[in-house]
Each structure stands twice: as structure tokens, then as C-alpha cells.
Amino acid sequence: MNKLTSRIDKERLLLGIAAPLLAIVAALLVTALVILATGKSPGAAFSDMVTYGFASDSQVYILNKATTYYLAGVAVAIGFRMNLFNIGVDGQYRLAAFVAAVLGGALTVPGWLAIPLIILAAMVTGALWAAIAGILKVTRGVSEVIATIMLNSIATAIIGYLLQPSQLGQLDKAGTLVSTKPLPESSWFFQIDTGPAGVLWGFIVVAVIVGIGYWFVLGRTRFGFDLRTVGQSETAAAASGVGVKKMIATSMIISGAVAGLIGMPTLLNDSHQFSNDFPAGIGFTGIAIALLGRNNPVGIALGALLWGFLERTTNHLEFQGYDKEILGVIQGVIVLCVVIAYEVVRRYGLKRQQQRVGAELAARAAAPTEMQEVA
Amino acid sequence: MANRDIDITVRAGTVHALCGENGAGKSTLMKILYGMQQPDEGTITIHGEQVVFSTPGDAIARGIGMVHQHFMLADNLTVLENVVLGAEKLHGIGGKARKRIREISDAYGLGVRPDVLVEQLGVADRQRVEILKVLYRGAKTLILDEPTAVLVPQEVDALFDNLRELKAEGLTVIFISHKLGEVLSVADEITVIRRGTTVGTAEPSTTTPKQLAELMVGSELPTPETEESTVTDIALLEVDGLHLAQTDLDGIERVILDEISFTIHKGEVLGIAGVEGNGQSELVEAIMGMRDPDAGTVTLDGADVSHVPTRRRREAGIGYIPEDRHRHGLLLEAPLWENRILGHVTERPNSRRGLLDPKAARTDTERIVADYDVRTPGIDVTAASLSGGNQQKLIVGREMSHSPKLLIAAHPTRGVDVGAQAAIWDYIRAARRDGLAVLLISADLDELIGLSDTLRVMYRGRLVADADPRTITPEELGSAMTGAASGHLEHTEDDAR
């Protein structure tokens, strides 16, 4: 019995890895074809990506990027586990980063107090912004997809309005960049100087803590079990005693709170202010990464690293005379393949397990079956 | 579940019954015969000609039609539209089709009216539409998958008359069921399947239901007789004046539960009979806290729980065997041990102080699997990979493991094989001896009569009749279920056949 269960488990693990691997291989193939079509050599491009991507300065760059992407992936994954599509992560983190930057610029308290306050402000902002969609969904039945997409636009408009020199923004000396008042140096997050390779953002520690928290809450607590139950079957969840509506609203709020963290590595470790060139669109990157990582905390980390790697290396390819659109092609194809591969592998796995269980039971019962005749 | 070494010969112009436990492989066999699944080996021969079906279309072309257990009709279309849907090429969609439908309906005594909306039809009429749909497509062989599961006895008799009519016209019927009495009354030949293979054939005229059932499970089996009464006078569940109304899409208010009042005592099984859709599901959901009643009270063991959330009610000792286990009782894609936690996540051994205790939950799942004879290779397989009967045994085991005070059992043995059925009855009976109160809702009238201490009949949201299970017959209950009788049902000798 034990042997069998371990075998089924191993197979599940194998199937779990098969899908993203399949997707990445397919994406590489397609990319190779695209590069070939532009008349260049894919082999040279790939080898350049590998050598450049594993250089030590690239590694630090990738880790820093992945910190942001990881938080985005987790924020989206929390929704996914609930069958909620939080497209609004993008607006939630931008608004959260803006509010946090304004607060951080205005605070005059010591860093040990200011940094937690800034992070808290970001999480609360993200949570409240997401809560609008959550509450609309449970009270009025508004699809969270529609609500969050619209909230993204509203967030953009609000930030645009408030980030004017006459409001909360200020024009830099060159007169080209509008930003919030910069954070005092005491409010910067710690960072690790790795010498010539660059500076590693200290916020990676927070990202790791978030990952562990995500795993623990979902996998090891009653609350997490309730959340997963709702995600798998709302009807079964209701019958089992989970307040489905409350759960939907709660998980939307948690997703938003984590989304609030996305802008923090950039704000606290890098830019120290919110300007009109603050990175945008990371919420959508998070969707791709959560899909790639199968909502699994380790998987999301791998996905985030891969995304960082692709960005770093394709940037470099541009200098080697390749087209910069290759990045988009690879990323797009990966996401597309991932979605297809997961569904195929999932169906195959379910069917295979059913057959295995059937075969196993039939084999066990095979001994006492001889034909009987009544009357 | 795999099939192997299936040997079945169906002669033209007969009703051939196929019986077997759930998970025995009936459905797989039917899927193969209907072209939904391909066999790894073996052959199918029709009129001496070997055939290969790769899609249901091939099967239909060969004159094989299937009437599924769950009807596949569009409610907002008329009978005519439903029948011609997908078969527009045969006789068009207008007058010619209508004429053809009338012809078929008259030829086989189906009594189908082509221009009625399907939503206005009852279950039995819908079934006849399904049969007509298949005949319209030129089927000479009909496969009926558990056709009687949703019918009351009178409707079953009518269906059987239809089947005899079809047979008389030279058609062949393959009839899947595990209600043995019915099989014996309508079939000309019976094939029994057990664990994926044909284990024997039986001649209805010389076989008793008991012999047939033993052939199905491969061993002797008990009946749902209750022993001496264990009813106490301590009221455990009191439902008083429960009222529930719902406004449908057209803005019309529909009363679903109307002044429902009853009391279940410790050690008592209260059975509720009724055709499905008369408010039984809603009653269960109101008692479980999944629906909030508009008026009335639910008192559990002295405490008013009328508006208490479901989880608190479960913690207070309500066990729940839901009517639709896939929708309400299981997480199909989760492993068995997570399904063991479902519904009892706040209770030991599943969790301690807010944290899950997977190790204890897994150990306890192993225990349930062993004690309740859940046939599975392990507790890490998904619930979806178990057969229906084994899924149900897991649910029963789970609900019984938290020593409930009240068990709500909605169709506890539906779609469950005879062996598991007997086991589930035994669990309910044993718990009842220990003072469990049971609310039993079932479409299986033998089960209701056999297990219950008290019987009530539900019709259009009201409890219209009550009966003594010791004397009442299924036929008498059946007439009350269609609204033909109310009040206290007395068994009269004239009624008994």
C-alpha cells in the first residue's frame, strides 16, 4: 500500500513539473524559429543569453527584479487559489506605492518606525483598493475581472491627478520628472553590497517571508483550508460551513494587501520616490508568473527568476543586433504554452489516476471471480 | 474502472437488463457500446456484422440510441425543438418533423405533445421525450441508463408499459438498473456485471430478487428492516413553522417551504417521502444553515439554531450526507485525506488551535478507509478516482466519525451498489441505537419504509401526509407523493396487491 501511494505521488510530482518544462521547451522552439526567420542564428543568441545571464552582475539584477515579480506572483496566486482573477493587482500596487511614497516623504520619524509604517500604508492601500472589487462581487455579483480592470484605470487617473506639482508632486531640477517628495535616507531599506556585481535589495528577505507565509497559511491553517475549499468547489465549501461570500471578500483583501508590497522593493531599495516613471504593468507580469508557477510558492519563485533572467538577457541581445521584441515573443509563448500544457497535463493526470485506481482494485479483486449461473 | 472479458449477447426484440454494483463497470460498458469510449480489445457485432464505433455518431448510424440518466433537454424550448435539435436534416424543423413525432408517439404509446415547452413537463414526460428523441433518430436499440431512479412507482409502471410497447414493435432495449424488483418485472434476460466483468446471466421467471442481488455482490445480503424501535421521548430536532419563499427571474414569488413542522427524537429515524423537487433539498439546506428561512424556528437539542451559520451547526453535532455528493460532499480533485477534513476542519483530529494537523487527519482517513470498507489503493488518490459507492462510504465514514447527534441523510444510498447500501444502512441503524436522530430523505421507498420510525410525505413544499412505516406499502406512499392522498395514510387491504 505504501509503495503504491508513494508511486502515485511521485507521478504527480513528475506531471507537475512536466507542464512548465513542456511550455518552456515549446517557447524556446518558437523563439528559435522567430530568430531564424529574422535571419540570425538562434544558437548564438541562446548561448549569449546563458553566458550573460549567469554573470555575477546579472545575477544580482535578476534577483532584484525577481523580488518584485515574486510578490506580484503571490498576490495574483492568492486570488487564483480562490478561483478569483485579480487583474487589479496592477492598480493596487501602483496606488499603494504612491500613497506609501507620499507618506514616506512626509514622515520625520526614525527609520525603524518609518519603514514599517510605509510598508503598512502600502498594504492597507492595496487591500482597500482590492476590497472595493471584493465587496462589489459579494454584494452585487459584479465580476471581479471587470471591477478590477476598471479600478486599474481609476487608480491611474487618481495617481495622475495627485502627482502634479500643484498637488502632491514636485518637479525635478531638470524639469522633466514629476515625483513625490523623496524618502529621507533613514527610511531606506537595508541592502547588501556585493562589490562590483552591484547591490542586492534587502527586500528580498520580505519576499521570502511572504512566500513562507503564503505556504503556511494556505497549507497549514484552517483558514487556508477554507480558502482552498472555496476555490475548488463553492457549493461543497458552503455545505461544509465556510462562509463563501466572506471568504471571497477576505481573500480579495489579502491579495490586495500583498499586491501593496509589490512597489516596495523599488520604492525602499531603489527609487526612494514615486515618479511618473515608476514601473507599471507588473501586476500583469504577476499573472503570467503565477500561472507559470502553478500557484505554488516555489514554482512562483522559479517563474519570477525566469522572468528576470529573460528580461536581463534579451536586453543584452539588443546590443548584439537582435530585435528587442524577442523578449515579448518568448514571454508570450511561454504563458500561452503554460496554460495549454497545464490543462492537458491536468486532464491526463486525472484520467490516468482513475485508470490506475481501477486497475489496482480490479487486480486485487481478480482472484475470486469465476462465472456463476443462477437458475 | 476497467472492463475486462465482458460477454453480453442481446437478442433483438427483447428487454435486456444489465445489473451490477456501482463501479462494476456498467457505465464504461455503455460508453463503449455508444461509441463514447474505445475498447482496448474485443469486438462488437450487430446482426452478425462486426462494427467499430469511434463516436456516438457511428453508434446512432447503426441504430443504437442512449437515454442518459440525467436528461439532456433545453427547458426553454418546445418538445419539437428539443427533438429536432441536432437532427434537423432528418425531417426538417417544421410540419414534417411534427408529423413524424406524432407518428412515433402514437406507435409506441408515448403520449408526447410536440408543442409544449419542456419546462412545463414533469420528470416522467421528460423521460418520454428523451426516448422519443432517440427513436426519432432511427434507433432500433435503446440503452436506458437507470431510467427509474427519478420516478415514483406509478410512473415506473407506465415506463415499463412503454418499454413493452417498444419491444412488441421489434425494438431492443438495454436497461441498466440496480433496482432488482424492477429488473425482474420488465426484463426478458438479465446480465450481471461485477468488478468489470460479466459474472452470470439470469432468467427473470426463475430468479428471485435475493438470488440476483447475491449474484451482483457475490455474497448474501441483508434487507433494510429496522429491528425493535429505539425511539426515545427526548426531542432532538424541532422544526416549527418553517417558511421559505423565493422570487424567481420573472419576479413571481414562489413558496418553497410552507409551514413545515416536525420533531425528531433521539434514536428516531424520520423519513420524508416525496417526488424530487417538492422542497426536500431546500428543507435540508434550511436545517443545515445553507439557506436562511423567512419564518419559523429550528431547534437543535434545546438550542435555537434557526439563523446560526452552517459551521456552528456542524460543530453542534449535525452530520450531513448530501444528496449530490459531487456538489456538496467532496472536493473531487483533492486527495481523500483532504476530503476527510472537509466540513470538519475546526474539529479534532483535523486541526488544533487554528492549525491543520495533516498527520492526524491522514491517520484518521486510513481508519475510515479500513472501517468503512472504502476501496482505494491509498489516501492520496483524488476523490474523483473512486467509484460512487466508495465516495459515499467515505462521506458516511467522515460524518459518523464526529459522533453526530443528528444525521441528515439525503438519498444516502443513491447510486451506491447493493453491498455498500447494506453497509450504509447498518451504520445508520447502529448509530440510531446509540441515540442518533436521523432525518432521512430518499426516493427509494423500500429504503424509507425499511429504515424509518416515522414517515412524512412532502408535496409542493408542505408535509401533506404521514404514515406508519410498519404497515404502509410503496404504492400507497406513491399516491400521496403525487398529491392524490393526504392526511394520515391508513393501510387498507384493498390497496394491497
A161 vs B222, more confident? A161
> For A145-194, how does the pLDDT look when each residue is reduced to its tens digit (9 = 90+)?
999 999 999 999 998 888 877 777 777 777 777 888 887 887 788 888 87
CATH classification number, B15-217, choose in 3.30.457.10, 3.40.50.300, 3.40.91.50, 2.60.260.20: 3.40.50.300
Q: Which amino acid is at A216?
A: F
Domain made up of B235-489: CATH architecture: 3-Layer(aba) Sandwich (3.40)
Q: Is residue B137 within 8 angstroms of chain A, CB to CB?
A: no
For residue B227, what pLDDT is reported?
A: 61
- Percent of chain B scoring above 70 in pLDDT: 91
- Length, in residues, of chain A: 375
Q: Which segments of B182-222 are extended strands (E)?
A: 189-194, 197-202
Cβ partners under 8 Å of residue B70, min gap 6: none
Q: How far, in Å, CA of A191 to CA of A204, rounded?
A: 9
Rg over alpha carbons for chain B, rounded to the nearest Å, is 24
Q: Which amino acid is at B122?
A: G
Written as nine digits, the cell of B72 is 439532456
Question: How far A7 CA lies from chain B's nearest CA (Å)?
Answer: 10
Distances (CA, A) of B115 to A169, A304, B106, B162: 70, 60, 15, 21
Residue with cell 514601473: A279
pTM of the full predicted structure?
A: 0.73
Q: Is residue B202 within 8 angstroms of chain A, CB to CB?
A: yes
Mean pLDDT is lowest, of A206-210, A336-340, B216-220, for B216-220
Contact B345 A222 (CB under 8 A): yes
B149 vs A293, more confident? A293
Q: How far, in Å, CA of B122 to CA of A208, rounded?
A: 59
Q: How far, in Å, CA of A181 to CA of A275, rounded?
A: 9
- Report yes or no on A362 lying in a domain: no
Q: Is residue B354 within 8 angstroms of chain A, CB to CB?
A: yes
Q: Where are the alpha helices (DSSP H) in A82-221?
A: 89-106, 111-140, 144-162, 203-220
Contact B377 A8 (CB under 8 A): yes
Q: How far, in Å, CA of B397 to CA of B368, rounded?
A: 6
Domain residue ranges in chain B = 15-217, 235-489
> For A216-235, how does the pLDDT look when each residue is reduced to its tens digit (9 = 90+)?
998 888 888 899 899 888 88
| pLDDT class of B218 with cuts at 50, 70, 90 | low
Question: How far B440 CA lies from chain A's nearest CA (Å)?
Answer: 17
Burial class from Cβ neighbours inside 10 Å (0-12, 13-18, 19+) for residue B344 reads: buried
- The structural domain count of chain A equals 1
Rg over alpha carbons for chain A, rounded to the nearest Å, is 24
Q: Is residue B378 within 8 angstroms of chain A, CB to CB?
A: yes
- A91 close to A148: Cβ distance less than 8 angstroms: yes
Same fold, B15-217 and B235-489: yes
Domain that holds residue A145: 67-276
Q: How far, in Å, CA of A41 to CA of A38, rounded?
A: 9
Contact list in A for residue B325 (CB cut-off 8 A) is none
Among B residues 298-327, those touching chain A with beta carbons less than 8 Å apart: 309-314, 320, 322, 327
Most confident residue range from A231-245, B175-189, B209-223:
A231-245
Contact B385 A243 (CB under 8 A): no
Q: How far, in Å, CA of A141 to CA of A134, rounded?
A: 9
- Report yes or no on A61 lying in a domain: no
- Length, in residues, of chain B: 497
Contact A1 B378 (CB under 8 A): yes
Angle at B316 between CA B310 and CA B320, to 5 degrees: 60
For residue B226, what pLDDT is reported?
A: 53
For residue A350, what pLDDT is reported?
A: 77
Contact list in A for residue B290 (CB cut-off 8 A) is 238-239
Contact A238 B376 (CB under 8 A): no
Q: How far, in Å, CA of B36 to CA of B164, rounded?
A: 27
For residue A275, what pLDDT is reported?
A: 84
Contact B334 A361 (CB under 8 A): no
Mean pLDDT, chain B, as a whole number? 80
Cβ-Cβ contacts under 8 Å between A and B: the total is 148
Mean pLDDT, chain A, as a whole number? 83
Q: Is the pLDDT of residue B493 over 60?
A: no
Contact list in B for residue A219 (CB cut-off 8 A) is 356
Contact list in B for residue A228 (CB cut-off 8 A) is 334
Contact list in B for residue A355 (CB cut-off 8 A) is 2
Mean pLDDT on A140-146: 88
Is the ipTM reported for this complex over the cut 0.90? no
